[in-house]
A and B are shown apart, each in its own frame.
Chain A
Amino acid sequence: MSGRLREMRCELAYLKNADGSVCFSQGATCIWASCSGPGDIHRARANDEKMVLDVSFRANTGDNKFHPLNNIITSTLEKVINLQLFPHTTQVITLHGIQDDGSIGAAALNATCFALLDNGLPFDTIFCGVTIVRINGELIIDPTAKQESQSDAKILLAVCRNRTTSAPEICASDTIGDLTIDELENAWLLAKQTALSIFEFYRVSLERKHSTDFC
Chain B
Amino acid sequence: MRTQPLTICEKTLIVESLRAGKRLDFRSREEFRNVKLIVGSEIGTAICSIGQTKVICAVSAEITEPSSMRPQKGVINIDVDLSPMANYSHEHDRMGQKGMELTRLLELIIRDSRCIDVESLCIRAGKEVWKIKVDVRILDEDGSILDCACLAAITALQHFKRPNVTLEPHHTLVYSEYEKSPIPLNIYHMPICTTIGLLDKGSTIIIDPTEKESECLDGTIVVACNKRKEVCALHQSTNLILTTKQIENCVKLAMSRAEELSSVVIDVIRQDQRERSAFKRPSGFAITSPAIILNENRVVAQQIRAPIKMEIEQEEIEEEESEKQRQAYQSSVIMNENPLRSDGVKQEEIDEEQMIDEQLANIQQSVNRVELDNKQSLDRHGEIQEVDDLLAGLGDDDEEEESTVVTLGDTVDEEDEIVLVAKKKRF
**Given the complex, which residues of B lie within 8 Å of A19, measured CB to CB?**
88
**Which of the residues B41, B56, B296 comes within 8 Å of A101, measured between beta carbons?**
B41
Q: Is the CB of B303 within 8 A of A3?
A: yes
Q: Which residue of A lies closest to B57 (CB)?
A: A60
**Given the complex, which residues of B lie within 8 Å of A30, measured CB to CB?**
284-286
**Given the complex, which residues of B lie within 8 Å of A39, measured CB to CB?**
1-2, 88
Question: Which residues of chain B in 113-156 are interfacial with respect to chain A, using CB atoms and an 8 Å cutoff?
Answer: 133, 135, 137, 139-142
**Given the complex, which residues of B lie within 8 Å of A194, measured CB to CB?**
304
Whether a CB of chain A sits under 8 angstroms from the CB of B298 is: yes
Q: Is the CB of A34 within 8 A of B295?
A: no
Q: Which residue of A lies closest to B133 (CB)?
A: A61
Whether a CB of chain A sits under 8 angstroms from the CB of B42 is: yes
**Given the complex, which residues of B lie within 8 Å of A61, measured CB to CB?**
58, 60, 133, 135
B40, B292, B295, B301: most-surrounded residue (chain A CB, <10 A): B295
Q: Is the CB of A2 within 8 A of B294?
A: no
**Given the complex, which residues of A lie within 8 Å of B377, measured CB to CB?**
none
Stretch at the interface among A5-13, A75-83, A150-158: A5-13
Closest Cβ of chain A: how far from B136's Cβ, in Å? 10
**Given the complex, which residues of B lie within 8 Å of A16, measured CB to CB?**
52, 140-142
Whether a CB of chain B sits under 8 angstroms from the CB of A92 is: yes
Closest Cβ of chain A: how far from B105's Cβ, in Å? 21
Closest Cβ of chain B: how far from A57's Cβ, in Å? 10
Q: Is the CB of A36 within 8 A of B84?
A: yes
Assembled-state Cα–Cα distance A101/B283 (Å): 10
Main secondary structure of the interface of A (DSSP, over half): mixed
Stretch at the interface among B168-176, B305-313, B347-355, B415-423: B305-313
Q: Which residue of A lies closest to B323 (CB)?
A: A165
Q: Is the CB of A64 within 8 A of B81?
A: yes
Q: Is the CB of A9 within 8 A of B284?
A: no
The number of chain B residues touching the other chain, given as a range, is: 35 or more
Q: Is the CB of A94 within 8 A of B85?
A: yes
B47, B60, B297: most-surrounded residue (chain A CB, <10 A): B297
Q: Is the CB of B304 within 8 A of A197?
A: yes
| Chain B proximity mask over A189-215: 1 for CB below 8 Å, otherwise 0 | 110111001000100110011011000
In the complex with contacts A4-B302, A11-B288, A197-B304, A100-B42 CB distance below 8 A: yes
In the complex with contacts A40-B2, A92-B88, A98-B47, A13-B283 CB distance below 8 A: no
Whether a CB of chain A sits under 8 angstroms from the CB of B86 is: yes
Q: Is the CB of B2 within 8 A of A7?
A: no
Closest Cβ of chain B: how far from A193's Cβ, in Å? 5
Assembled-state Cα–Cα distance A190/B2 (Å): 44
In the complex with contacts A61-B133, A96-B139, A9-B306 CB distance below 8 A: no
**Given the complex, which residues of A lie within 8 Å of B323, measured CB to CB?**
165
**Which of the residues A5, A10, A54 comes within 8 Å of B301, measured between beta carbons?**
A5
Closest Cβ of chain B: how far from A73's Cβ, in Å? 13
Whether a CB of chain A sits under 8 angstroms from the CB of B30 is: no
**Given the complex, which residues of B lie within 8 Å of A28, measured CB to CB?**
41, 281, 283-284, 286
**Which of the residues B58, B87, B286, B302 comes within 8 Å of A17, measured between beta carbons?**
B87
Q: Is the CB of A9 within 8 A of B319?
A: no
Whether a CB of chain A sits under 8 angstroms from the CB of B8 is: no
**Given the complex, which residues of A lie within 8 Å of B81, measured CB to CB?**
58, 64
Closest Cβ of chain A: how far from B92's Cβ, in Å? 4
Assembled-state Cα–Cα distance A94/B304 (Å): 30
Q: Which residue of B lies closest to A195 (CB)?
A: B304
Closest Cβ of chain A: how far from B187's Cβ, in Å? 20
**Which of the residues A2, A8, A58, A60 comes within 8 Å of B298, measured between beta carbons?**
A8
Q: Which residue of B lies closest to A54 (CB)?
A: B92
Whether a CB of chain A sits under 8 angstroms from the CB of B54 is: yes
Whether a CB of chain A sits under 8 angstroms from the CB of B299 is: yes
Q: Is the CB of A3 within 8 A of B304?
A: yes
Whether a CB of chain A sits under 8 angstroms from the CB of B408 is: no
Assembled-state Cα–Cα distance A12/B294 (Å): 9
**Given the complex, which residues of B lie within 8 Å of A23, measured CB to CB?**
288
Q: Is the CB of B297 within 8 A of A204?
A: yes
A2, A18, A54: most-surrounded residue (chain B CB, <10 A): A18
In the complex with contacts A60-B137, A64-B81, A9-B286 CB distance below 8 A: yes
**Which of the residues B1, B41, B45, B284 comes within 8 Å of A37, measured between beta carbons?**
B1
Whether a CB of chain B sits under 8 angstroms from the CB of A84 is: no
In the complex with contacts A17-B140, A61-B58, A8-B135 CB distance below 8 A: no
Whether a CB of chain A sits under 8 angstroms from the CB of B179 is: no
Whether a CB of chain A sits under 8 angstroms from the CB of B93 is: yes
Q: Which residue of A lies closest to B134 (CB)?
A: A61
Whether a CB of chain B sits under 8 angstroms from the CB of A184 is: no
Q: Which residue of A lies closest to B210 (CB)?
A: A16
Closest Cβ of chain A: how far from B12's Cβ, in Å? 23
**Which of the residues A65, A100, A209 comes within 8 Å of B93, measured between beta carbons?**
A65
Q: Is the CB of B40 within 8 A of A5?
A: no
**Which of the residues B85, B285, B286, B308 comes within 8 Å of A34, measured between beta carbons?**
B85
* 5 further contact pairs, Cβ within 8 A, besides A94-B92, A98-B285: A12-B296, A34-B84, A36-B1, A36-B88, A92-B84
10 residue pairs bridging A and B, Cβ less than 8 Å apart: A2-B303, A4-B301, A10-B298, A17-B142, A36-B88, A37-B88, A61-B60, A99-B286, A201-B297, A209-B295
